Amino acid sequence: MDKNSELKLALVIVSTLLIFTVACQKNTVAVDEGLKSERQGNAYQTSPIDNWETSESSWANGPGTSDDNDDVVLRKNIFFDFDKATLTSESQDILAINSQWLRTNPDVMITIEGHCDERGTNGYNLALGDRRAEAVKTFLVDLGIHRSRMTTISYGEERPFAKGRSEAAWAKNRRAHFSIK
């Protein structure tokens, strides 16, 4: 290969990497430490965020499953850190409880929906939402729930729960949500 061809190849590689880096770059925002204690909503809640009650029991299980029984734990969302599909220890605890409920209700089929905040491209967020839903499904399979009872779907950023451009709003949108088929 002559020097001219090597230079062209190097320029193509560097240009491609630069374009990929810029296209996939995410804006970083400092996480509000108070967010951990803030209540997080459910994508199917119909009341405005500003009118929510403050007790965690009022928001953890919002409406949206096959019935209105507040004891159905699968209505809890699993929340994720920014740009991550890794389950937190809190999420693992919630999933352990959900797996117990699924074992006592063996005929129930569920869909696990992956959601993201608005940052990033649509394609990136669809892939991230898919990884989040699959992480939840894999964890439940590891806990003994049969894979055939669960389907996953990614909505990416297309179905946000919280409107707004703040860390508090984005944190509510980075979730996996359960629905009973």
- What does the pLDDT look like over 57-103, one tens digit per residue? 333 333 333 334 445 667 689 999 999 999 999 999 999 999 999 99
Q: Side chain identity at 13, as an amino acid letter? A: I
* Residue 34 in this model has a pLDDT that exceeds 60: no
Q: For position 181, what pLDDT does the model report? A: 86
Residue 49 is predicted with a pLDDT of 28
Q: What is the reported pLDDT for 76?
A: 83
The Cβ of residue 11 has, within 10 Å, a number of other Cβ atoms equal to 10
Between 75 and 170, the higher pLDDT residue = 170
Mean pLDDT, residues 164-178 taken together = 93
Query: If we measure between CA atoms, which residue out of 108, 121, 133 comes closest to residue 158?
Result: 121
Interatomic CA distance for residues 173 and 163, integer angstroms? 9
What is the SS3 string spanning the chain?
A: CCHHHHHHHHHHHHHHHHHHHHHHCCCCCCCCHHHHHCCCCCCCCCCCHHHCCCCHHHHCCCCCCCCCCCCCHHHCCEECCCCCCCCCHHHHHHHHHHHHHHHHCCCCCEEEEEECCCCCCHHHHHHHHHHHHHHHHHHHHHCCCCHHHEEEEEEECCCCCCCCCCHHHHHHHCEEEEEEC
Instruction: List domains and CATH numbers for the chain.
Output: 47-180 (3.30.1330.60)
Residue 19 pLDDT > 70: no
Give the confidence band of 7 by pLDDT, cuts at 50, 70, 90: low
Task: Give me the pLDDT at residue 75, please.
Answer: 64
pLDDT > 70: percent of the chain: 60
Does the pLDDT of residue 2 top 60, yes or no? yes
Dig out the tokens for 120 from the structure. 């990033």
User: What pLDDT shows up at residue 169?
Assistant: 93
Task: Please give the single-letter amino acid code of residue 108.
Answer: V
Contact indicator for 129, 114 with CB cutoff of 8 Å: yes
Q: Is this prediction's pTM over 0.85? A: no
Is the per-residue pLDDT at 51 higher than 80? no
Please tell me which residue, 73 or 53, carries the higher pLDDT value: 73
